[in-house]
A and B are shown apart, each in its own frame.
Chain A
Amino acid sequence: MSEPWEDDELDGPVRKFMYVNRRAPYGTIYALESLEVVLIAAAFEQDVTLVFMDDGVYQIKKGQDTGAIGVKNFSPTYRALEGYDVEKLYVEKESLESRGLTTDDLVVPVQVVNNDQLAELMEEQEVILSF
């Protein structure tokens, strides 16, 4: 049963929403609260694109263990995105490489794009939310 505040009825066109994740998963709450936005937003059947860049690439790194800092490891939730039809995931090449990571290190399949391609992708969006 959904809560009353989740019953928002929406009219209007489908828009291109991009969520840009730029920060490390822990240390601040931005990554977790960004994921909450994406999960809620998925219910509104918009055209959703997720980008991971800068330290945001660490959000989807495999093998996260948060036991020592007493914070919930929410990285498994990224694997559930596909079930919400959130399938357009992009990682900025420069951010990934400068941190010594490859796509094998990530918990979800992504498309790797360079800085210029990402700029083009951003150009196509109607709403960009950056966290």
Chain B
Amino acid sequence: MKISVLVNEGPYQHQSADTAIQFTKAVLAKGHEIFRVFFYHDGVNNGTRYAVPPQDDRNITEQWTEMAKEHNLDLVICIAAAQRRGILDENEAKRQGKEGHNMADGFRISGLGQLIEAGIQSDRMVIFGD
């Protein structure tokens, strides 16, 4: 089955991001396909490379990055939601005249059309949010 995941909450504040990671792992382990993971609302904060959680805690962003690398996942961050919250990739940082970018490896920034496309192309869309 082809599944897409929508993550609507940021990391650490809510369980949703952790659950989304565990769900995505389980989907892949069962041999299903992840068409796309889309990050919206505070979910865009899953993609900041500057999060530095204490060493004895999990690093949610790194978990996404590693999973993306291993399984060639398409991790898409909504551009409008990201810009509001200060999440910028290299191109956007340049375009907006900002000095640095903070998008973690494995993520890409794009529009809400990617969310709609995920809804059209997938057999199921599973949403994580409180």
Chain A residues proximal to chain B, CB less than 8 Å: 3, 5-6, 8, 10, 12-13, 15, 17, 29-30, 33, 36-37, 40-41, 43-44, 46, 126-127, 129-131
Contacts and interface: CB of A to CB of B under 8 A. Distances in A.
A46 to B, nearest CB: 7
Given A5-B109, A10-B120, A129-B127, 20 more contacts: A6-B111, A8-B114, A10-B116, A10-B117, A12-B121, A17-B116, A17-B119, A29-B84, A33-B40, A33-B80, A40-B113, A40-B116, A41-B112, A41-B116, A44-B116, A127-B120, A127-B125, A129-B119, A129-B125, A131-B8
A37 B115 contact: yes
B49 interface: no
B81 interface: yes
Nearest to B81: A33
A17 B115 CA distance: 12
B24 to A, nearest CB: 18
Contact of B113 (A5, A12, A29, A33): A5
Interface of B: 6, 8, 40-41, 79-81, 84, 109-117, 119-121, 125, 127, 129
B80 to A, nearest CB: 6
